[in-house]
Structure 1
Amino acid sequence: MNVNCPHCGKQMKLGGKIQSGLEALAPGQQLRVKCIQCAQPFGIDASMAGASVPVSQKKTAIRPPDPPDISWLKEGDYEETETVEEVPRALVLMAGVPARDIVVADLEKLGYKVELGESAEGGMTRMQFVNYASVVLHSQFEKSGLEGTFHSYMRTMNMAKRRYIFYVLIGSEFNTMYNLQALACSANLVVNDKDIQRFSLLLRKTIPEYETLFGPLMEELRLAGR
């Protein structure tokens, strides 16, 4: 299956895992992928998994293909094409419902495969074996609040792993989208309890901004082995 980047037009071939993920999406849900050429993120939905060329187009397709892009030849550099292989995963550590149900549902709408951490220890164990794209923690998940073991684990995590995680803190003590407060708590986003109903909107605004701002830098660090 091939898709074209809406930003630069680059055609990408998606792997079997991402195609299976697309087919499993409910109507209205999307997966977010990043262009291998311009590094800009964009969404793809389930309708693209079964896309086919109309018969009328097949009969009239007499135009020869365009010449290949050889711009890399002039630059003297070549990088092997990468394909998107996995559906992004999110870990949620919240004790309360229905607030937790809202958070889970909103993450799934954005194409995440969501897993629940039943304890701080369980969450840390999961993170040793899974590379989560997003982690959501409620400040009262542990009795000791932000002094608990899981938040301490996130704050002291090696940056080689931490920089690829969009870390969200939820709690009554936070001012929603207050970046200074998020920075002080070593998080990417803070959300007040009263704004959980708009959690999906908050993610749709902040995650693309985060990827646009730090995506190129993280890619450079990845290529440099950092």
Structure 2
Amino acid sequence: MLSQCPVCHQPLRFSGEQLSRLEQALVQLGPGKVLNLKCPHCREIIGLDQSGQPPRTPTASVVPPPPPSLDWLHTGLYQGEEKVEDVPMALVLHRADAQREQINEALEAVGYQVFMAETAADALERMRFVNFSCIVFHVDMEGGLARSVFHAHMRNLAMDRRRSIFYILLSDSLHTLYDLEALACSANLTVNTRDLQYLDMILRKAIPAYEELFGAFLEEMEAYGRR
């Protein structure tokens, strides 16, 4: 039996006779029906079901929005900007294979000077001396994000440096251009490896969109000497 008002949280005390009559009334309730009581403290109406408790309201599970449609990729219609400005150097952490060549070609096509790294240690060493504007990391290089030393480093970068890096994660389990997934992974862009053939178009769409969203903020931070 309810012992506290769910509105004012004051204790509810019933005499033996009141409790007996209340229990009898609850037994006679039909399915889905409630018995209304008035709190003696706050005077709010309290509804009770057959269990003697307020009816439980079903909790709706939070369903994230689906990944975006990629139909435009296959049409080849999206052109966007021909070159990306102010992003001269990119670092690619990926094993040497055909996929890495696709990544290199796509980055060069949108104006990056590309540097390759085949190990996390090599990538971290390069980052000590070069301020890369874009970093591409295949998440399987270190057995997934949870175990990755490199990804942990990216997540722990000082914000004045991290905000100047467009961080791209690649995997056959990620969803291309899924902003919510990128946010959850502390990245700026996620790309499924099956879409690497369209990477140049993806970059032409994603990077200008990022600059449009954050460009003014970054300019103000730079103006105040807080890049």
TM-score, normalising length from structure 2? Answer: 0.61
Q: Number of aligned pairs?
A: 146
Following superposition of structure 1 onto structure 2, how do residues 133-144 of structure 1 map, counting pairs within 5 Å? 133-144=133-144
| Structure 1 residues 167-222: Cα deviation after superposition (integer angstroms, max 9, x where no partner) | 00000121111111100111000011111111111000000111111011011111
Does structure 1 residue 178 correspond to structure 2 residue 182? no
Q: Report the Cα distance in structure 2 between the residues aligned to 1:180 and 1:33, rounded to whole angstroms.
A: 26
Does structure 1 residue 32 correspond to structure 2 residue 84? yes
- Structure-2 change in CA distance of 1:172 and 1:144 (3 Å): closer
Q: Report the Cα distance in structure 2 between the residues aligned to 1:109 and 1:32, rounded to whole angstroms.
A: 9
Does structure 1 residue 220 correspond to structure 2 residue 217? no
- Which residue number in structure 1 is paired with residue 150 of structure 2? 150
Secondary structure of 2:151's aligned partner: helix
| Structure 1 residues 10-37: Cα deviation after superposition (integer angstroms, max 9, x where no partner) | xxxxxxxxxxxxxxxxxxxx65336xxx
- Which residue number in structure 2 is paired with residue 43 of structure 1? none
CA contact (8 A) 2:96 2:118 kept: no
Partner amino acid, structure 1, of 2:215: G
- Which residue number in structure 2 is paired with residue 166 of structure 1? 166
- Structure-2 change in CA distance of 1:189 and 1:144 (3 Å): closer
| Structure 1 residues 125-165: Cα deviation after superposition (integer angstroms, max 9, x where no partner) | 11111011100000111135442100000011101001011
| Structure 1 residues 51-94: Cα deviation after superposition (integer angstroms, max 9, x where no partner) | xxxxxxxxxxxxxxxxxxxxxxxxxxxxxxxxxxxx71000011
Partner amino acid, structure 1, of 2:148: G
Q: Report the Cα distance in structure 2 between the residues aligned to 1:211 and 1:165, rounded to whole angstroms.
A: 11
| Structure 1 residues 89-142: Cα deviation after superposition (integer angstroms, max 9, x where no partner) | 000011152111000011011111100012101101111110111000001111
CA contact (8 A) 1:139 1:146 kept: no
Q: Report the Cα distance in structure 1 between the residues aligned to 2:85 and 2:92, rounded to whole angstroms.
A: 21
- Structure-2 change in CA distance of 1:186 and 1:145 (3 Å): closer
- Structure-2 change in CA distance of 1:201 and 1:31 (3 Å): closer
Partner amino acid, structure 2, of 1:202: I
CA contact (8 A) 1:91 1:136 kept: yes
Secondary structure of 2:140's aligned partner: coil
- Which residue number in structure 2 is paired with residue 89 of structure 1? 89
Q: Which runs of 5+ in 2 are unaligned?
A: 1-81
CA contact (8 A) 1:181 1:190 kept: yes
CA contact (8 A) 2:177 2:189 kept: yes
CA contact (8 A) 1:140 1:146 kept: no
CA contact (8 A) 2:93 2:119 kept: yes
CA contact (8 A) 2:89 2:114 kept: yes
Following superposition of structure 1 onto structure 2, how do residues 108-127 of structure 1 map, counting pairs within 5 Å? 108-127=108-127
TM-score, normalising length from structure 1? Answer: 0.61
Q: Report the Cα distance in structure 2 between the residues aligned to 1:154 and 1:201, rounded to whole angstroms.
A: 25
- State the identity as a percent: 43
Does structure 1 residue 188 correspond to structure 2 residue 188? yes
Q: Report the Cα distance in structure 1 between the residues aligned to 2:99 and 2:113, rounded to whole angstroms.
A: 18
Q: Report the Cα distance in structure 2 between the residues aligned to 1:173 and 1:32, rounded to whole angstroms.
A: 27
CA contact (8 A) 2:136 2:169 kept: yes
